[in-house]
Amino acid sequence: MLAVGAVAGLALATPAAATTLAALSHDQMVDASDAIVEGTVLSVTPWKDETGRVWTRAQLRVDRVLKGDVKVGDLLPLEAPGGVAEDGAITAVHLAPRYDEEERVLVYLNLKRFGTVYGTVGLMMGKFTIRQNPADGSDMVVRFTLPADRPYDARFVPHPPAAERQSLASYESAVRARVALGWDGEPIPGVAVDHLRTINKLQPGVK
């Protein structure tokens, strides 16, 4: 499967931030996720922390659950580093996911602050926009982001070249297959082994 990314280190600064991402396989992304869901973004709100850094909070309505202890209809608070505050302050975080109201997404999520706010595994690598394939009208998944200081409109997320398009159905199948198979016991950078045991079924022989 295609290699994707997970957060190996994250250094925030204003106005810009640098990130270092370590490549993870899709199976590792699934294993590292507390929840994997498809949903619709209902609202997007920037906010500042006590240091003046800008974050973006999105509210997601869960439309389908592929992994995790969440239910269809749940409203999940998603948080991403970076954004543009109402006063014009900008915190730019390289490869941070962007959200838009009414955007349909497939997201790989991990629990963050106090166990109530979710972030994506691997920043933008854990977030896909669900769009219609112009060739046949079927749903496909597209990974795309923009710098925080550029307007983001999910309606204009570019279509990948025809040969590179990935169907939503194929991603769902891959996720469900890995969840059913379970974690293989191998460590994943940035994720505690005890946590991996808690959030995954274990493959036979894994202790």
What are the pLDDT tens digits along the chain (207 aa)? 343 433 322 333 333 444 455 678 999 999 999 999 999 999 999 999 999 999 999 999 999 999 999 999 999 999 999 999 999 999 999 899 999 999 999 999 999 866 789 999 999 999 999 999 999 999 999 999 999 889 999 999 999 999 999 999 999 999 999 999 999 999 999 899 999 999 999 999 998
Token pair 């500042």: residue = 48
Look at residue 21 in the predicted model and tell me its pLDDT: 59
Among the listed residues 10, 45, 5, the one whose alpha carbon sits nearest the alpha carbon of residue 26: 5
**Helix (H, G, I), strand (E, B), or coil: what is residue 154?**
helix
CA 108 to CA 74: how far, in whole Å? 16
Token pair 């950078």: residue = 189
The CA-based angle 72-113-150, given to 5 degrees, is 80
Look at residue 24 in the predicted model and tell me its pLDDT: 87
Look at residue 116 in the predicted model and tell me its pLDDT: 82
Q: What is the pTM of this model?
A: 0.89
Look at residue 106 in the predicted model and tell me its pLDDT: 98
**Per-residue DSSP letters for 21-88?**
EEEEEHHHHHHH-SEEEEEEEEEEEEEE-TTS-EEEEEEEEEEEEEESS--TT-EEEEEEE-EE-TTS
Domains, the chain: 3-199 (2.40.50.120)
* H/E run at residue 130: strand 127-132
Q: Is the peptide bond before 15 cis (omega within 30 degrees of 0)?
A: yes
The CA-based angle 199-97-145, given to 5 degrees, is 140
Look at residue 114 in the predicted model and tell me its pLDDT: 64
Look at residue 56 in the predicted model and tell me its pLDDT: 96
